[in-house]
Amino acid sequence: MRLLLTTLALAAALTSNASAADIRSISRLATGPGNVLFLADWKAATVHALTLPESTATGAGKPFNLLDLEPLLSAQVGGAKITVEDMVARPGTGEVYLAVSYGPRKVPALMAVTSDGRVRRIDLKHAKTSTVALRDAPAPSGVIWRELPERSFTVTDMKWREGELFIAGLSNQDFSSSLRRVSYPFDAKQAVASIEIYHTGHNLVETRAPIRAMSFATLEGRPYLVAAYTCTPIVTIPLEDIRDGAHLRGKTIAELGYGNTPADLIAYSKTENGKTQDYLMLLNFERGASAIPLSQIQAANAKPGIEQVVPFGQLSGLEPTSAPLAGALRIDNLDEQSFIVVRRRLEQDRLQLVSIGKELSFRLTDFVSEYAFSQYSFKGDDFQLKYIKPRQDQLLEQEGFADHIKPDR
């Protein structure tokens, strides 16, 4: 009887049918099964599963060209200044969801945005949700650099996979870098494992600094979590090892650059010349993005992990392709052909929400080059006609500017 009561008490502590009015912050988003959207609430140390209504959006497959996003979002919160916390695309709908905070008190809000510039604020007070409390969350009183709440790192990233939500972040334990896995629909089962890694730039085994971005990969038939840390070691962890109470040593397989915080890590595929390849796209706050072939991840994972310092400024373990995504804050798969990116366009100081084709990973209309001038002609230059013009035409079509395609003339 005592065991039954204990189990019921634990279940009550971990899950509830709380209304979404209890949401105090939104730091990370993740799409789940069906119409479920997961919201991480670091202030309450909880994750909410919000059931969205069936989508009525008709913009699937259409490019995003929202080049001044901030006024559209701010208008939904009475003109207050907003900060974008996270962004995800709702698969198959052409809808993008942005978590923002606004005003001096950093009030959370959730916005749905479509390619035609329509913004709809989700009514969190009346949304249907279920909630799980995260065990062993950092205390509300802890701070980093005098004012940054340590608890704000309770969830640094989260991803849905095959019935479970994987949550990276901090706990209140001595080895505070943690991985949680929670079944959905939420129940009393919650696995919390602590993580340590060898940091190739710091020459240090680290147990506190959390995973900043993560994704999944199947390597030699086994499912792995692939994680990126600050400064930018890349680490693999077998999913089967992430168990409640486990203390794990992740394998450091690469070092991709000092002085950087990873922003996002997503899996995607692209087809070129009839061949489809799988990739991970690592988006960074202080560096450009890195497109990493999954074959490179697999090859690096088959080797012994890196256990010695990588000299300052050098890369090791992987040879990714640099993608021109400076200023991007978040990235997701919009559809099979395109990414969706929320970015701060640096030279214009504008917040933007744009789609970018996966094949070439940049937007032609971002640049003013020789080709942009109306006087330029491709005529008479076989190289330009054979290689450059077809790529430019493809990019303009992807961006929704097919009417700007120049004739060969």
* Overall average pLDDT of the 37-56 stretch: 93
* Overall average pLDDT of the 251-278 stretch: 94
Name residues whose C-beta falls within 8 Å of residue 75's C-beta, 6 or more positions apart in sequence.
Answer: 119
Q: Where residue 264 falls among pLDDT bands split at 50, 70, 90?
A: very high
Q: Give the closest residue to 262 by CA, choosing from 307, 301, 303, 320.
A: 320
By three-state DSSP, how is residue 238 classified? strand
At position 396, the amino acid (one-letter code) is L
* Overall average pLDDT of the 248-271 stretch: 96
Q: What integer pLDDT is reported at residue 188 of this predicted model?
A: 79
Q: What integer pLDDT is reported at residue 132 of this predicted model?
A: 95
% pLDDT > 90, the chain: 85
pLDDT tens across 366-380, in order?
A: 999 999 998 999 998
Residue 3 has pLDDT above 80, yes or no: no
Q: Give the closest residue to 270 by CA, choosing from 292, 239, 246.
A: 292
Q: What integer pLDDT is reported at residue 20 of this predicted model?
A: 53
% pLDDT > 70, the chain: 95
Name residues whose C-beta falls within 8 Å of residue 111's C-beta, 6 or more positions apart in sequence.
Answer: 73, 76, 97, 98, 100, 119, 120, 121, 122
For residues 253 and 234, is the Cβ–Cβ distance under 8 A? yes
Q: CA-CA distance, 325 to 343, in Å (whole number)?
A: 8
Phi, psi for 75 (deg, rounded to 5): -60, -25
Chain-centre distance for alpha carbon 351: 17
**Could you tell me whether strands 338-345 and 233-238 are parallel, antiparallel, or unpaired per DSSP bridges?**
unpaired
Residue 254 has pLDDT above 60, yes or no: yes
Task: Tell the burial category of 78 from Cβ atoms under 10 Å away from its Cβ (0-12, 13-18, 19+).
Answer: exposed
By three-state DSSP, how is residue 321 classified? strand
The CA-to-CA distance between both ends of the chain, in Å, stands at: 86
pLDDT tens across 77-135, in order?
A: 999 999 999 999 999 999 999 999 999 999 999 999 999 999 999 999 888 899 999 99
Number of residues in the chain: 409
Q: Give the closest residue to 154 by CA, choosing from 175, 174, 176.
A: 176
For residues 279 and 291, is the Cβ–Cβ distance under 8 A? yes
Q: CA-CA distance, 356 to 333, in Å (whole number)?
A: 10
- Share the mean pLDDT of the chain: 92
User: Between 17 and 176, where is the model more confident?
Assistant: 176
Q: Where residue 360 falls among pLDDT bands split at 50, 70, 90?
A: confident
Global pTM value:
0.93
Q: Give the closest residue to 391 by CA, choosing from 379, 380, 405.
A: 405
